[in-house]
């Protein structure tokens, strides 16, 4: 009974928050800056199919990979805090070894250099 009340309370609160934020997010009028493709204040110049440096894309992908790495390392931090197991430490070391091999390969390949020498 208590569990179903908790679930109902969480559903009610989430519905209320969603309703309030959707009501607050309604557009009151058309804003010229919000209707432009870029909200940074610059006027769009050129077509949408203009070329850009592939290095920017590569750095963005590498950021996503290492951002996911941080998320995957969080359970290891909790494991070390609550108690160490041999299997947990070994799996953490294997995971970090694979990541460092990938980082070493990217450095050797020159993927992390923004400007060519």
Sign of CA dihedral 19, 24, 30, 33: negative
> Who's near 111: CB < 8 A, 6+ residues apart?
58, 62
First CA to last CA across the chain, in angstroms? 68
d(CA 88, CA 62): 26
Structural domain count, the chain: 1
pLDDT digits (tens, 9 = 90+) for 1-36: 777 888 899 999 999 999 998 888 776 666 666 666
Residue 62: name the closest of 24, 109, 11, 12 by CA: 109
**CA–CA dist 79, 90 (Å, integer):** 12
pLDDT tens readout for residues 73-117: 877 777 777 777 777 778 888 888 988 898 888 888 877 776 665
Is residue 13 one of the residues assigned to a domain? no
Structural domain that includes position 83: 55-110
pTM, full prediction: 0.46
Whether 95 is covered by a domain: the verdict is yes
Residue 67 in domain: yes
């Amino acid at each position: 009974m208590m569990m179903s009340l908790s679930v109902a309370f969480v559903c009610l609160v989430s519905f209320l928050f969603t309703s309030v934020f959707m009501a607050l997010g309604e557009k009151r009028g058309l804003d010229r800056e919000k209707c432009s493709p870029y909200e940074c204040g610059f006027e769009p110049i050129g077509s949408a199919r203009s070329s850009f440096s592939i290095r920017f894309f590569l750095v963005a992908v590498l950021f996503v990979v290492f951002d996911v790495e941080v998320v995957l390392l969080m359970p290891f931090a909790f494991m070390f805090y609550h108690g160490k197991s041999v299997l947990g430490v070994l799996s953490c070391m294997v995971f970090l070894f694979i990541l460092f091999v990938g980082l070493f390969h990217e450095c050797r390949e020159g993927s992390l250099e923004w400007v060519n020498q």
